[in-house]
Amino acid sequence: MTRLVRLLPLVLVALLALTGCHRRARATATVAQPATSGGVVATSISHRHYRNLLRIASRDTQCHHRELSAQEVSPGIFSISGCGQLRDYVMVCSGRRHCRWVGIQPVEAVAIAETQCATGQVVVQPTGPLSRTVSACGQTLQYALACAPGACAWSRGAVAGGVVMQTEPGTAVIVVPDAYASPSQQVQVQEASTAGVVGDESADVVQIDAAGTLQSLLATQIAAIRQCTGGAPVTLAIRWTAQGQVGVALAPPHAGTQVEACVQAAVGSVVLQGVSGPGQVQASF
C-alpha cells in the first residue's frame, strides 16, 4: 500500500503530460507558408488563425461560417467560398509569430473600376486557383493574382503561376515556372506586354513569363508609384539580370531624378528565380 501511495504522484504527472501533449496536438494545424530560404516549408499555426479567417470571411460575405469552405490555393493564400460568393485572403506575417489575414480586393470590384460597368453586367468565372475570366459589358477579360510582400491584387495581363514569397523584409522573390501552359497563353502574355521583351531576340517562354509576372507585381504598387509622380502616368523600364536581380528605371525627363528614386523605393527589392537569362520590358502605370 505504501509503494502504491509513492507511485501515485508519478502516475498523475505522466497522465498530465500526456493530456498536455494531446491538447497541443489538437491546437495546431499544418499549413504551407513562405520560407525564409525562398522555398516553401510546412509551418504549424494555431486553429485560432483558421477560425479567425472564417470569422473575417463570414463578416465580409455576410455568410454563416458553417456555410464557408476554405482552400489554400497558394502558399499563404486562401480562397473562401460560400453563399454564392468567392473571396481571397493572404496571410501576412511579421516574423513567425505575428500573423494576420489581409483581404484581397475581389476581382469583380477591380473589373467594375476598370470597365465602368454596372455590378449586374460583370460575371466572374474561376479558370484556375489564381486566375479568373471576367465578362463585362461585352468584353472578356483575363485576370491573375499578383502578389508583393504583404499585398496581393487581381491584374490583367498577369501570369498565374509565378509565386511571390517574402525572404526578408522588403524583398519579393518571384519563382518563375519552368514552362508555360500553352501557345495561346504565350500569345496572350505577349499582347499584354505591349513593349515586348527586349534583350533576348528569342523571347523564350521563361522570359515572357517573367515579363508578365513583373508587370503584374508592379501593378499592385500603382498607388505608391503615382504618389511619386504627383498622380501623372509614368513609363518604367524594368530589367533583370541572369541572376534574377530586378532594376527599375524611368525614361527622361525623370531619369536620375528624385522621382525615379521615389519610384525605386516604392517598388522595393525584387528577385526573380528560375530565369534563363537577362531581359527587359517596359510598362506604363
Residue 229 lies in a domain: no
Residue 72 belongs to what domain range? Answer: 30-104
Q: Does residue 113 register a pLDDT over 80?
A: yes
The larger pLDDT score, comparing residue 78 to residue 191, is at: 78
Residue 212 lies in a domain: no
Residue 3 lies in a domain: no
Residue 22 lies in a domain: no
Reported as a pLDDT band with limits 50, 70 and 90, residue 59 is very high
Residue 278 lies in a domain: no
Q: 55-59, 172-176, 271-275, 278-282: which has the minimum mean pLDDT? A: 172-176
Q: 41-50, 67-76, 138-147, 219-228: which has the minimum mean pLDDT? A: 41-50
pLDDT at position 56 is 92
Greatest Cα pair distance, the chain, in angstroms, is 94
Model pLDDT for residues 20-55, shown as the tens digit of each residue: 444 333 333 333 333 333 333 333 446 777 888 899
* Cβ contact 45:37 at 8 Å: no
Residue 276 lies in a domain: no
Is the alpha carbon torsion for 62, 66, 67, 70 positive or negative? positive
Say what the pTM is: 0.47
Give CA–CA dist 113/105, Å, rounded: 11
Q: State the amino acid at position 219 in one-letter form.
A: A
Residue 254 lies in a domain: no
Is the alpha carbon torsion for 29, 31, 37, 39 positive or negative? positive
Give CA–CA dist 228/187, Å, rounded: 33
DSSP letters, the chain, are -HHHHHHHHHHHHHHHHHHHHHHHHHTEEEEEEE-TTSSEEEEEEEHHHHHHHHHHHHHHHT--GGG-EEEEEETTEEEEEETTEEEEEEEEEETTTEEEEEEEPPHHHHHHHHH---GGGEEEEEEETTEEEEEETTEEEEEEEEEETTEEEEEET--TT-EEEEEETTEEEEE--SS-S-HHHHHHHHHHSTT--BS-TT--HHHHHHHHHHHHHHHTTHHHHHHHTTT---EEEEEE-TT-BEEEEE-TTSTTSHHHHHHHHHH-EEEEES-SS-EEEEEE-
* Cβ contact 178:206 at 8 Å: yes
Residue 257 lies in a domain: no
Domain count, the chain: 1
